[in-house]
């Protein structure tokens, strides 16, 4: 029996005061549910939030990291630096980074390898664009992203985030997600053998307090990666309450 995982991606939102208040609101109202919770604030808030969540059931994650452990990489943050702060997870290959920072599958794979080496749990994102979906290329794209972004022996978390559903308020339908999960599981097993059977797959894309129960009940959905709704503690906690162990 494994616990579902609810990951909050705050993106580039949060100054000191509101990040602390949001985290305290979550910590003070945690439901008694068997669920893993990860919150991913921006880099500037990681030290504070990692310290606030230490010794709590909530883990702290980053939204990106570099693939090298140190060196002449101005402005970058290494996975070792994250681990040093008490950060345990890192989101990698989010579509916003693929689209606006030119990240390709190979970059994502190198970062994933580095994150695992530093002891972090990578949450690797994949997903097709609306155009790829409409032209029938979604499965090919997802297959290639798995092949390119996940290293051999991958033992982290995969997040399926159809790009057309991110930040749009238009979550994929239950039937879309069911089909995608069936395809992704088969593809993981095809590419990784036995190991592919146990890789946890999250759904992300406009998950909110209203649709979380339905999405989290879909077979093989191991949890949710939540963007916008994770900024509202009440909404985030409602999503957490909708998760379960199964
Ligand atoms: C995300 O940023 O990963 C995401 C899924 O965002 P939203 O929930 O706002 O669609």
- CA atoms within a 13 Å half-sphere pointing along the CA-CB vector of 148: 16
Q: What angle do CA 79, 188, 200 make, to 5 degrees?
A: 55
Quote the tokens at residue 50. Answer: 């990692």
Location of structure tokens 């695992």: 116
Other beta carbons within 10 Å of 227: 23
Q: Where are the alpha helices (DSSP H) in 157-225?
A: 174-192, 212-216
The Cα–Cα gap between 93 and 140 comes to 18
User: What is the pLDDT at residue 32?
Assistant: 85
- Report how far apart, in Å, the C-alpha atoms of 52 and of each of 62, 89, 244 are: 15, 16, 24
Domain boundaries, position 45: 5-244
| CATH of residue 100 | 3.20.20.70
Location of structure tokens 């452990």: 69
Other beta carbons within 10 Å of 10: 22
Closest residue by Cα to atom 2, ligand 1, is 227
Other beta carbons within 10 Å of 7: 24
162 lines ligand 1 (CB under 6 A): no
Closest residue by Cα to atom 3, ligand 1, is 227
* Secondary structure (3-state) at 112: helix
Buried b (16+ CB within 10 A) or exposed e, 144-176: ebbeebbeeebebbbbbbbbbbbeeeebbeeeb
Tally of residues, the chain: 246
User: What is the pLDDT at residue 16?
Assistant: 97
Other beta carbons within 10 Å of 32: 6
Q: Which of 91, 227, 236, 239 is the pocket-test mutation for ligand 1 (most atoms within 8 Å of CB)?
A: 227
User: How many independent structural domains does the chain possess?
Assistant: 1
User: What is the pLDDT at residue 99?
Assistant: 95
Closest residue by Cα to atom 4, ligand 1, is 227
Contact 165, 186 (CB under 8 A): no
The Cα–Cα gap between 88 and 62 comes to 8
224 beta partners: 6, 203
The Cα–Cα gap between 177 and 10 comes to 23
The residue annotated as part of the active site, out of 80, 96, 128, 161, is 161
User: What is the pLDDT at residue 33?
Assistant: 81
**Digitized pLDDT (tens) for each residue of the chain, 246 residues in all:** 689 999 999 999 999 999 999 999 999 999 988 899 999 999 999 999 999 999 999 999 999 999 999 999 999 999 999 999 999 999 999 999 999 999 999 999 999 999 999 999 999 999 999 999 999 999 999 999 999 999 999 999 999 999 999 999 999 999 999 999 999 999 999 999 999 999 999 999 999 999 999 999 999 999 999 999 999 999 999 999 999 866
40 beta partners: 9
């Amino acid at each position: 029996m494994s616990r579902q995982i609810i990951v909050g991606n705050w993106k580039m939102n949060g100054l000191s005061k509101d990040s602390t208040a949001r985290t305290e609101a979550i910590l003070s109202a945690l439901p008694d549910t068997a669920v893993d919770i990860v919150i991913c604030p921006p880099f500037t808030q990681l030290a504070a939030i990692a310290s606030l969540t230490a010794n709590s059931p909530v883990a702290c994650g980053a939204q990106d990291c570099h693939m090298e452990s140190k060196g002449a990489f101005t402005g970058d943050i290494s996975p070792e630096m994250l681990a040093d702060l008490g950060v345990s997870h890192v989101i990698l290959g989010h579509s916003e980074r693929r689209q606006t920072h030119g990240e390709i599958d190979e970059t994502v794979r190198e970062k994933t390898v580095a994150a695992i080496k530093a002891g972090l749990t990578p949450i690797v994102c994949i997903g097709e664009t609306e155009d790829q979906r409409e032209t029938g290329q979604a499965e090919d794209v997802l297959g290639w992203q798995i092949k390119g972004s996940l290293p051999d022996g991958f033992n982290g978390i995969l997040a399926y985030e159809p790009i057309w559903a991110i930040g749009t308020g238009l979550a994929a339908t239950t039937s879309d997600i069911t089909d995608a999960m069936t395809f992704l599981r088969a593809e993981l097993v095809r590419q990784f053998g036995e190991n592919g059977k146990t890789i946890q797959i999250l759904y992300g894309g406009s998950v909110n307090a209203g649709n979380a129960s339905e999405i989290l009940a879909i077979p093989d959905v191991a949890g949710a990666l939540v963007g916008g709704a994770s900024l509202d503690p009440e909404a985030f906690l409602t999503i957490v309450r909708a998760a379960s162990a199964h």
